[in-house]
Each structure stands twice: as C-alpha cells, then as structure tokens.
A and B are shown apart, each in its own frame.
Chain A
C-alpha cells in the first residue's frame, strides 16, 4: 500500500536574511525540525529568492549532488574548476561536490530578483571527482507530459548525478494528466508543485506544497488549475 507524507507550503522553515528569502522543506542551516530531515536520499529542497545584485559568496561543498533550477531570473555561477556560467530560467545545473569544490552564486541582474530551487541529493558514492554540468531544457517537451531532466545515466536524457535518482518536470493545462512509473523498485518520489494545483493519489496540492510517496509502482498526476507546473524527484528511500 502506498505511503505518503504531505508537506504544505506554509509548514516549511523560513529564513529571511534581507537579501535572501528561503523556504526549507527539510532542516537546513538554522531551521531544525527533527521530523523533517530528509526524504530518502533527498536531503535539501530550498526555495530561494535572491535580491538583485546579491548572492552567495564563495563557499565550499563536498560529498553532495547539488541541483539548481532557476524558476525566475538568472543566476551567475563561478567555481574552483574554472566554470563561469549564467543559469537561466529553463536551465538545470548540476554539481557533484565529491572531494570538494568552491563556488559562488549571484543574481545575474542588479534590479530584479532571481528565484530558484536548490536541491541536494546524497550521493551513492563518496569522494568522487567534482564535476559540473548545465543544460537548457526544451519547454515543449514538458507540455502536458513529464519530461526527464535528471537521471543516473550520462547518456540518458537530462543531466546526471551519482545516485539512482530521476527527476521529471511537467507543465500542464487544467484537466490534463500523466502517469509516472517508478524507475527503480523501492524508490520513492517527492512531488513539488511549482505553480498551480495538482491532484496526486487523491490528494489535492497547492502551489509549493510537497508530497512524498513510497511503496508504490506508479501514480497519476493531474493538473487541477491552468499553467500548473510540477517537479517529481524519484530517489532511493535508503541511504
């Protein structure tokens, strides 16, 4: 029987640093809730807004698969591997931090905010060689269907990470639906509503609500509002 856990948008931890507004689905930095540490290998789901001209100065990461998805605006990235890039709405960026990497992330614009998701997934292998990648997604591929944007396989669609994880993005018109089939038995899926409203497994979800589902083979995702967008993150439940 399918198990689920619902995280309503307003139950998330909040951080307001003036230049940065962040909503944390799971415990992060000063937000600590012992009942909300992770969903399987999904450890961080931060919904960030950075004011114009501001950002995160150079800081390190290690042993984590870090995925950034801009939702509005553009994010400027520099790292210790020599990568300098602007990640725009419609792109997805991935970093395998492995043995250690330094990077900075700034709002590319001086006068408008950038909104983006920062997602951390525990790696299935520690101390890998750090790597960076980013791709531009084709909007038409997610219209009324689920578009794979991340997998464990370098030759597969989307970016790849060191974990048996698959991410899909869908942009639906009201009343449209799609079926999601679990890629690896035993994995769970964390669904996060980016815009609009959805019904999953009989549960109504509003903007920025999240639901974790496990012990299932698949499920239907149905948009119950216009311009509804959803991110599905399939991850191992045991780390």
Chain B
C-alpha cells in the first residue's frame, strides 16, 4: 500500500498537533507537522512529501512562500487548505486531493 506523507503547517500548536493525530489515524497516511516555518526546508530535505496541509494562522504571503519552498524540493506535492480545525472536513479535503476514499 502506498503511504502518502503529509506535512501539516500552521501557527496554532494545539490544532496542528490534533491534525497530525487525525491524519495519522488513516493507514494510508503518515503525518508530521510544524509551527516553526524556518524548519520547513530541513523537514522537506529529510522526508518524502506528498501533501502539504495548511492549518490556521498563516498569511496568504506565508502560504505562498511555503508552497514555493516545498515545491522546489518536492515538485509533485499537493496542497490542501484545511478549514474547520478538526475532523469534520479533513477526510473530504484529503479525499479530494488524493482522488481516493480514505478508510
């Protein structure tokens, strides 16, 4: 089974931690995350990445800059803009970007 690697980025530590936990409940996904934007390049260099999931607190400019940094290292990365802060919309958002239905 292909495992999709997810990086959760946001400014609210508690919500980022929850999203990592929720994403990791799906056997098809493996998540890590950070609220420290300067850590993103080193995380990307160390790990494969399929999905960049934006949580709350980032400006549009920050999201654009992060997307560019990540895409330079992982050109095929897919970007998910998460809304709602929890489990309600997460599965649909991931299903849509992956084109599969998560278990």
Interface residues of A (CB under 8 A from B): 27-30, 32, 34, 37, 43-44, 59-64, 97-102, 120, 122, 126-127
With a 10 A CB-CB cut-off, give which of A30, A37, A60, A120 has the most chain B CB atoms: A60
B83 touches A63 (CB 8 A): yes
Q: How far is the CB of B84 from chain A (nearest CB, A)?
A: 5
Q: Which chain A residue shows the least CB distance to B11?
A: A99
**Interface size band for B:** 20 to 34
Identity of the chain A residue whose Cβ is nearest the Cβ of B13 in the assembled complex: A100
Picked from B57, B83, B88, the residue with its CB within 8 Å of the CB of A100 is: B57
Report chain B residues within 8 Å CB of A98.
56
Contacts of A44 in B (CB 8 A): 88-89
B47 at the interface (CB under 8 A from A): no
Q: Are B18 and A60 in contact (CB under 8 A)?
A: yes
How far apart are B102's CB and chain A's nearest CB, in angstroms?
8
For the complex, give the distance between the alpha carbons of A34 and B95 in Å: 9
A61 touches which of B58, B84, B95 (Cβ 8 Å): B84
| Complex Cα–Cα for A27 and B11 (A) | 26
B43: Cβ under 8 A from any A Cβ: no
Tell me if B101 counts as interface (CB < 8 A to partner A). Answer: yes
Tell whether, in the assembled complex, residue A63 and residue B88 are in contact, meaning their CB atoms are under 8 Å apart: no
* B interface residues (Cβ-Cβ under 8 A, vs A): 11-12, 14-15, 18, 55-60, 83-89, 91-92, 95-96, 101
Closest chain-B Cβ to A169's Cβ sits at a distance in Å of: 24
- Which residues of A sit under 8 angstroms from B57, Cβ to Cβ? 62, 99-100, 127
**A37 to B84, alpha carbons, bound, how many Å?**
14
**Complex: how many Å from CA A64 to CA B83?**
6
Q: Given contacts A59-B86, A62-B85, are A99 and B92 in contact (CB under 8 A)?
A: no
Task: Verify A27–B85 contact, CB threshold 8 A.
Answer: no
Question: In the assembly, what is the distance between CA of A97 and CA of B11, in Å?
Answer: 14
Q: When A and B form their complex, which 7 residue pairs have the shortest distance between CB atoms, in order from nearest?
A: A62-B85, A62-B56, A100-B12, A61-B85, A27-B92, A60-B85, A64-B84
Q: Could you list 7 further interchain pairs (A-B, Cβ under 8 angstroms) beyond the known A32-B91, A62-B83?
A: A64-B83, A97-B84, A99-B11, A120-B89, A122-B83, A126-B60, A127-B57
A101 to B86, CA, bound (A): 11
How many whole Å from A120's CB to the nearest CB in chain B? 7
Most buried by A among B11, B92, B101: B92
Docked Cα-Cα span, A65 to B84, in Å, equals: 9
Question: B56 to chain A: which residues have CB within 8 Å?
Answer: 62-63, 98-100, 126-127
> In the assembled complex, how far is the CB of residue A3 from the closest CB belonging to chain B, in whole angstroms?
23
